[in-house]
Chains A and B, each alone.
Chain A
């Protein structure tokens, strides 16, 4: 038999460990989503390798842009959708305009749908990698350069790339 004090101490350790586990779920969740690619989260690093073009398949890629209420910019892709072959590198511009009288910094967070296709959607260059400062009334085209990995499972024929634009808040700086 364990004494009351030692038993209570062990139970308290379990409690603290479970509290820590609750917080550990946060990085674990990200790691899990990154490995499996099931959350529509794309890699935040530019891709370096290129794949061969598979001309036997055609994938429809749709583009969406929306913004948070806190940032009054206009934000839209120059085309709604395109059709490309897996492996084919493509550049698409997203048009952004700051209609206000003051300079602001925005940041776009990408998401790919269906979520399972996210890890096959490879960005070579993306405005989402960095902060986007815009002067008052400045208008700019923000390019994203990407290709679709030819290893994309056969049952996917459409991929949607969506960006949501946020006003840069202090804790984002440096990410």
Chain B
């Protein structure tokens, strides 16, 4: 704190007319802050807290699955664990982490003094703790937390759900409002606050991917709000959107949900593409290969995400023509994604590469995300999907793209930018230890899931056939190790926040390019109050 104060006072001398320089101390600084760096920090710390909350739920799931039979939890509670684990990780860990990174980095990258709508920014963050308090409090209610899966298919979430459904719906509304406000803020900031000379095709790729993500959020979060509202009114107010007795249709729930749900999975990966596209050129010491094609590929993925939703529903009895359409449309997404992977590899080709921790995580991202993408292609094949559907193969697929994809992208971004945030270098030893522990344990955790899934083990089941016992014990050990490895990450973050470590230079990385590296380390409380000139 004191370091930031000094630098903010230095700036204060230059901008004595600026009343926002005043920074209240204690809790009110964080409650009332409109500073993009404070809010970014809040988002990131909140998402770390949620990562561990969702992680504890995952540890309980893996403890139950360590052996066949019912050990620790009853099946209904197991369903609550998987449901809330999914909701917390998607809406509490991954999405707020990206919004936190956007808050910190987008103004620094485009030469803006702050986000365009700072008060809304404060609001969009402070809704989240309430949303998740409501969601997590359902564990202590009669009937327990929502247990219909994070996809809350009707009628599981309507006819067969407990009364915590109302709390669940309201918390999802709050999360949606928060995301929409965050997305609006990003769009308005990028549209209106770019420094002179920062033309569209000079924007760093992280900014581009976030702009496209923000439009996806604006387009689909209201649809999620609509579908949870329909669940609410079906359960409590006598409507029959998803109830066949009243002329509704439960399959329609899946169509509306996945119309939101598929763009949502790209919301959770596109900003990670942006982070990796910033890191690879820095440590390969070469400019990003194919910048324009990266922008076009990102936009294509976003547009295609609206016409592939029914590939989640191949087994609901769709006509063959529709199955073929959704199969081919899904496979088409592999083309722009392949362009991206090709560009990252081409950026590294004959580069002067070094392997600091951000680069290690970025490389792991490219390899492991590609594995997740390939299992996604397998799932897109209609006849094959009938076998894979609702097995652990699906669990393996989406954990490869979300954990070793989105979460590794976020972690590599944190290692990459934390010297700029805190002013000190993280310990390379701790970071490498974290990396190697994570990379080994995460593959122990998720890779064997492919095999048990192909062998027919269903997902969301607290017990399983005996032949899966050894694999599941191995998976659980991987899970516990992966959970413990993340404590190393917390150790690294806490050390940096407490200012322990080597002082970071302004540029931090030898090969770093971009406006965020032009400001001092740590980044002063106020930056770019006079817009920089971009050549």
Contact = CB atoms under 8 A, between A and B. Distances in A.
Given A2-B191, A22-B222, A38 B259 contact: no
Contact of B218 (A15, A22, A29, A170): A15
B490 interface: no
A166 B252 CA distance: 19
A31 interface: no
Interface in A1-35: 1-4, 7-8, 11-12, 14-16, 18-19, 21-23, 25-26, 29-30
Contacts of A116: 319
B227 A14 contact: no
Nearest to B322: A38
Interface in A117-175: 164, 166-167, 169-172, 175
B325 to A, nearest CB: 12
Contact of A18 (B219, B240, B255): B219
B246 A171 contact: yes
Contact of A175 (B219, B247, B259, B317): B247
A8 B319 contact: no
B139 to A, nearest CB: 29
Contact of A1 (B184, B191, B220, B259): B191
Given A7-B188, A11-B218, A19 B226 contact: yes
By secondary structure, the B interface counts as: helix
B251 interface: yes
A39 interface: yes
Nearest to B251: A39
B187 interface: yes
Interface string B214-252: 000011111111110010000000111100111101011
Contact of A15 (B188, B222, B244): B222
A115 B224 CA distance: 28
B255 A29 contact: yes
A68 interface: yes
A25 B257 CA distance: 11
A21 B298 CA distance: 25
A109 interface: yes
Contacts of B191: 1-2, 7
Interface residues of B, number: 38
A166 B159 CA distance: 14
Contacts of A175: 247
Contact of B246 (A22, A25, A40, A169): A169
Given A21-B223, A25-B255, A166-B245, A171 B238 contact: yes
Given A2-B191, A25-B256, A38-B322, A14 B219 contact: yes
B117 interface: yes
A3 B193 CA distance: 11
A39 B252 CA distance: 10
A116 B322 CA distance: 12
B247 to A, nearest CB: 6
Given A22-B226, A38-B318, A109-B244, A14 B218 contact: yes
A68 B241 CA distance: 17
User: Interface centre among A2, A25, A68, by most B CB within 10 Å?
Assistant: A25
Contacts of A68: 245
Contacts of B288: none
Contacts of A107: 245
Contacts of A25: 223, 252, 255-256, 259
Given A2-B191, A38-B318, A166-B244, 12 more contacts: A7-B188, A7-B191, A18-B218, A18-B222, A19-B225, A23-B230, A26-B241, A29-B249, A109-B247, A115-B317, A170-B238, A175-B247
10 contacts: A18-B219, A18-B220, A19-B223, A23-B226, A23-B230, A36-B319, A40-B317, A116-B319, A166-B245, A172-B245
Name the 7 nearest CB pairs between A and B, nearest first. A22-B226, A166-B245, A19-B222, A18-B222, A22-B223, A11-B184, A15-B222
